[in-house]
Structure 1
Amino acid sequence: MQKYWLSAVLLLLFISAKAQDVIQINGEQKTIDLGKYVQYYEDKSRKLVFNEIRQVTFQKFAQQFPEEILNLGATASAVWIKIILDKKSKERYYLQIDNTNLDSVLFYFPDAEGKYQVKMTGKKFPLTSEDIPSTHCIIALPEVHSEQPQTYYLRLTSVRYMNLEMQLICTDLLPTVLIQRYALELLYFGIIILAIIYNLFIYISLRDIAYLYYVIYTFIIAFNVFNTRGYLSLFFPDYREIINQYTYLSSVLYIPFITLFTIHFLHIKQYSQVFYRLLQVLLWIACLQVVLTLFRKGDFIFQSTIGFVVFNMMFYVTTGAYFLAQKQPYAIYYFSSWGIFTLLTIVGVSFYMDFLPFYSFVKYLYPTAIVLETVISSMAIFNRIQILRKNNEEIQKKNMELIKEQNQVLEAKVKERTAELEGKNKEIETQNYELAVQKEEIQAFSEFLEEKVSERTQELQLVLENIVKQNQDLAQFSYIVSHNLRAPVARITGLVNIFNYENFNDNFNKEILQKLKDTSLDLDTIIKDLTQIVSIRNSLDKTKEYVELDDILDISKDMLIDEIQKSNAQITSDFYIVSSLYTVRSYVQDIFYQLLSNAIKYRKNGHELKIHCRTELINNYICLSVADNGIGIDLQNIDKYKIFGLYQRMHDHVEGKGMGLFLVKTQIESLNGLVDVQSQEGVGSVFQVYFPK
C-alpha cells in the first residue's frame, strides 16, 4: 500500500517537472562533458526500481549537477542519472564514468522498438560485462537510428565514495584518453617501486628492522592505491568477488607498520616512555581494525574510522615535532614527510567527504602525498646512513687510538694480547667492508642526485633564455617608444617655437594650431597603440577557456563581411585534427581577424582570392595556419623578424599602420606560443601560429 501511495505522490508532481537539457551530438565534438547537461536523484533507500523511476517525474525530484563533478561523499545510496541524447553523427561514442569504486552500474537504453533493455557492469560483475576493460567504467552507446532524442538511465552504487565525472568520448579519441591516464599512474607506481627496491636493499645491507617496516608499509600503501584505482580487479578478473569483500583490508593494514616504523626509526622507547606507550595503544587499535576487516567488517571500519586514521597521522606529525624539538637527528625528515602527507590526505578527505567542492585533480592528491612522503622518507633514510657512517668512523678512530695506547702501555703483554687484537682486527675489517658497501650505495645515490641537478640546470637555462628574450623585447620596445614618440614631439616643439605670440590673431597662427591638432592626434594614436601592446604583454591573468575554432572563424568572417564580399574571397577551413583550444578567447579572435584582414588587403588583382585555415599537431604545439594566394612577400630580401615588427609594412599600396602582425606576435608570445611565415612573392603566404598544448 505504501508503494502505491509513493507512486501517486510522485505522479502528482509530474505536472511541475522541469525539462532536462538535450545533448546534441553532431560529430564535431570529440569529447562532451555531461556535468551541466544531466540530472541525478539520490535513492537513499536503494529500493527504487527502473519502472518507478520512469513513471514518476524524474526531473521534479532530480537535481542538476552542482559542478562538472557530482560528489556525494561516502554514501551508501544508489544514484539514478538521466541522459537525453540527440545523436546526428554516425561516429561511435562511449560514455566514460570516472570513478574506480563503482561496484554496480546498470545502464538502461531503448532498443529499436523503443523497449528498454539493461546492461549490467561494474566491479561486482565479471570483466566480460565491460565494453572496454578499464580501471573505470566505459560503456558503448548503442547504435540507434532515430530522428528523435533518446533517453538513457543509469543506476550507480559505490563501495567507497560517490564522485562522478562523466564524458562522452568519440571512438578515435578514446585510446589517447586512456594512454594519458595510464601513463601518469604508471609514473607514480614506478617511483614507489624504485623506493621500495632501494630501501629493501638497504635493509638487506644494514639489517635495521626500521627499514623493513618502511618497505612493508610503503608496499601496502602502493598496493592500496593499486586496488582503489581499479587495477587489481582489472588484472585479476576471476577474483573480483574476493577483492570486493576485502577491498578495505589494504586501507587499514599499513597503519600498524607505520606505527612500528615510527617507534624504531625515532628510537621512541629510548627518548620518551610517554610517546612509546601512546604509540603502543594506537598499534593495538590498528591491529583490532585489521581483525575486524578480516571478518568482513571493512565497510563499518571505513565509515567510522576515517577520523581515527586522520588522528593517527596528526599524532605521527606531533611525534615528529616533539623529537625535532629534542634535536633528534632524524626527526626533521620524518616531520616533513608526515606533515606533507597528513596535510594532503586531510585536504583530499575533505574533498571526498564533500566538505569542499570536488575537482578532477583531487583524485591525484593521495598518490601525490604518497610520492612526496616516499621521497622525503628516503632522504631521511639516506641521512640516517650518513650518521651511521660518521659514528662508525668515530668508532674506528677510537679503536685505532685504543690499539696504539695499548701497544705503548702494555708492551710487556704483547704476546698475551695477540689473539685478542687479531680478533679486533677482523672486526675492523668487517666494518671496513660494510663501509665500502655503504660507500658504493652513497656513490650511486650521488650520481642520481647529479643527474637531477643536471636536469634542474637545463630548466634554469631555459628560464635564462626566456629572460634574455624578454630583455631583447624590452629593448626593442624602448627603441620603438623613443623612435615613434620623438617625431610628433619634435613637430610640436617646432610649431610652438614659430608661433607668433605678439599677434595671436595672425592667420599663420591658425595654420600652426591646425598642425598642432593633427600632430597631437598622431601622438594620441601612437600612445594608444603602445598602450594596447603593453596591455597584451601584461594581461597574463586573462581567463582561459575552451574555444571552438569554427565559432571564432565565423565571428571574424562576420566582422569582415564587407571586405569579403567586396574581394569575393573564398574562405575554407579544416579543423578536424584540433577543433578547439584551451586559451584566451579574445586573443584567438583577434589573431583570426588580423590574418584574414591581411590576406584580403594584400590580394592579387584579377585573381580569385582563396584563403584556407587549418590546424595540425607539430611537436608540443597546436599549429593554426592561414594560407592565401595573394601577392606574397620576398623573404629572401626581408628579415622575418621585421615582418612582425611594430609599424613595419612590406607593401605601401594598401592603407595600414603596420600593427596587425605585431599584435599577432605579441598575443601568441604572451601565451608562450610562436608565430612564423612561409611566403613566395607572387604565389601567396602561409602564416603559422603555434599554441602550446
Structure 2
Amino acid sequence: MDISKELELYQFEKLNEALFLHHPDAIFLLDLQGKFRMVNEKVCEITGYTRGQLIGASFDLLMEASMKAHTWARFRETTQDKPQRYETAVLTKEGVRHLDVTNFPLKNDSRVLAVFGIAKDITAKKQKEMELERYATLLENHNDELEIFRKILAHDMRKPVANALGFARLLQGTLNESKEKEIKHYLLHTVEFVDVMLRDLNELIALQSAGHMSKEVVDVGKVLKRTVNFFQEEIRQTGTTVAWHVAENTRICTIKAYLQSIIRNLISNALKYRSTERKPTIEVVAQLQKDVLIIQVTDNGIGMDLHAMGQELFQMHRRFAPKAAEGNGLGLYIVKQQVKLLGGQITVKSEIDKGSTFTITLPDKES
C-alpha cells in the first residue's frame, strides 16, 4: 500500500478513536440484544461503572424502571433501520440521570448489524424543568386558594349579612320585649359568626403570605355545633329536625375556614332543598377512621337525578333545582374546590323525592 494511503488510513482511524473515546457526550455501541460492545469514557462517567463492567452487559440493567418499556421500544425501532431520538433515564451510583439519546442503525448493505448511540446528559435541564413545574403547581394552588377566599367572601358572607340586615330592620319596628330580646340574640349570634369567619380567613391569608403552614388542629364537634347553631332560626321556621353525631374530642389537622365552609354549605343546601311533602330532617355524622375524617350530611329532601346531572353537579353556577330555591350555584362548586385543596374527596348519593347524602373524606395530616 502507498505510504501516503497508509498514513491517511492511520490518521482516519486515530481521528475516529479520538472522537469516540473523548467526545464530550456518551457514545456507545450495542449489539441487537441491547448489550454494550463499545463505550467511551463519558458513558463510564455518567453511569459510575467501568468499561469492563459495562461491556457485555445489557443496557436494561441501567434503566430507570418507568423508562424501560419506552427505551426498549425506541431501541427496537432502531434495529428496524429507523433512527430514533428520545429522552430516557438511567439509574447510576449517584442516582437518576436523564439523557437525550440518539440511536442510529449500524449496517452493511443488506441488514442492521448493531446500534450506535449518542447520549447527552440533560439531568440539570430536567431538574430545572421539574422545579419550574413544581413552582407552576404551587402557583396554581395558590391562585385556587385565592379564588376560594374570594368566593367565600362573596358567597358564604352573603347569608349572614342578609340575616343581620333583616334582624336590624325588625328592630326598627315595634316589638314586644320578648320578641326584641330574641331578635337581638340572633343578631348578636350572626355578627359573632361573621366575626369568626373573617378572623379565620384573615389569619389564613396572613399565614399563606408568610409562607407558614395554614393548617391547625380543629375540634370537629365545636365546628359542627357552631355551624348548626348558625341555622337555628331557619331550622325553627322550617320545622327541620337536625341531628349530629361526632365523638367527643374528635380532632383533625386541617384548614378550619374550609371545614366550616364545607359543613355550612352542605347544611344550607339540605335546608334549601327540603321537601314540602314531609317534615325535613338532616343528619350529620363525623367520624375519624385512622388518618381520615369522614363527614356525611344526609337529608330527606327533594333529591336529584344524578344520572342526568353527570359531572355538572359541582360546576360553577350550576343549579340542579332552580325552581325549588333561590341561589347562585356556587355552593357545591366551592365545597368541591375546598375538598380538593384539602387533599380529600366528595361523593354523593341521591334519589328524586327521597333525599341526598354527601360524603366528605379529609386526610388528617399537617401538609
What is the TM-score of this pair, normalised by structure 2? 0.43
Task: Say which structure is richer in helix.
Answer: 1
Task: Say which structure is richer in strand.
Answer: 2
Q: Which has the larger radius of gyration?
A: 1
What is the TM-score of this pair, normalised by structure 1? 0.24
- Greater relative contact order: 1 or 2 (C-alpha under 8 angstroms, separation 6 or more)? 2
